Amino acid sequence: MDSERTPQQRPVGHLLDRLLGKQRLWLHILLFLATYFTTTVAGEQWRGVADIRNLANLPLGFAYASLVMLFLTAHEFGHFIASRIHGVDATLPFYIPFPGYQYANANFGTFGAVIRTRSQVPSNKVMFDIGVAGPIAGFVVCLIVLAIGFATLPGIEYLQQIHPGYPNELRQPGIELSFGKTILFSVLEKWFANPHSYIPPMSEVYHYPMLCAGWFGIFVTALNLLPIGQLDGGHLTYTLLGRSLHRRLGQLTALVLFAISIPSTVASTIANPPAWLRSISIPGGETWLLWAIMTTFIIRFRHPPSADEHPLDTRRKIIGYATIAIFILCFTPSPLLNQ
Which domain covers residue 105, as residue numbers?
23-224
Whether residue 68 has pLDDT greater than 80:
yes
Assigned domain for 319 exists: no
Say which range, 71-80, 138-147, 280-289, 316-325, has the weakest mean pLDDT.
280-289
Confidence of residue 19 (pLDDT cuts 50, 70, 90): low
Q: What is the DSSP string of 51-97?
A: -TT-GGGGGGGHHHHHHHHHHHHHHHHHHHHHHHHTT--BPPPEEEE
Residue 175 and residue 265 in one domain: no
Residue 108 and residue 216 in one domain: yes
Residue 198 and residue 62 in one domain: yes
Count how many domains the chain has.
Answer: 2
DSSP SS3 for 247:
helix
Residue 147 and residue 94 in one domain: yes
Rg (CA), the chain: 22
**Average pLDDT of every residue of the chain:** 88
Burial tier of 207 (Cβ tally within 10 Å: 0-12, 13-18, 19+): middle
pLDDT in tens, 24-36: 899 999 999 999 9
Q: Tell which of 199, 224, 249 closes a domain.
A: 224
Confidence of residue 259 (pLDDT cuts 50, 70, 90): very high
Residue 234 and residue 220 in one domain: no
Residue 240 and residue 100 in one domain: no
Say which range, 6-20, 22-36, 200-214, has the weakest mean pLDDT.
6-20
Residue 175 and residue 37 in one domain: yes
Percent of the chain at pLDDT > 90 equals 67
Neighbours of 143 (CB within 10 A): 17
Assigned domain for 152 exists: yes
HSE-CB for 73 with a 13 A CA cutoff? 13
Confidence of residue 257 (pLDDT cuts 50, 70, 90): very high
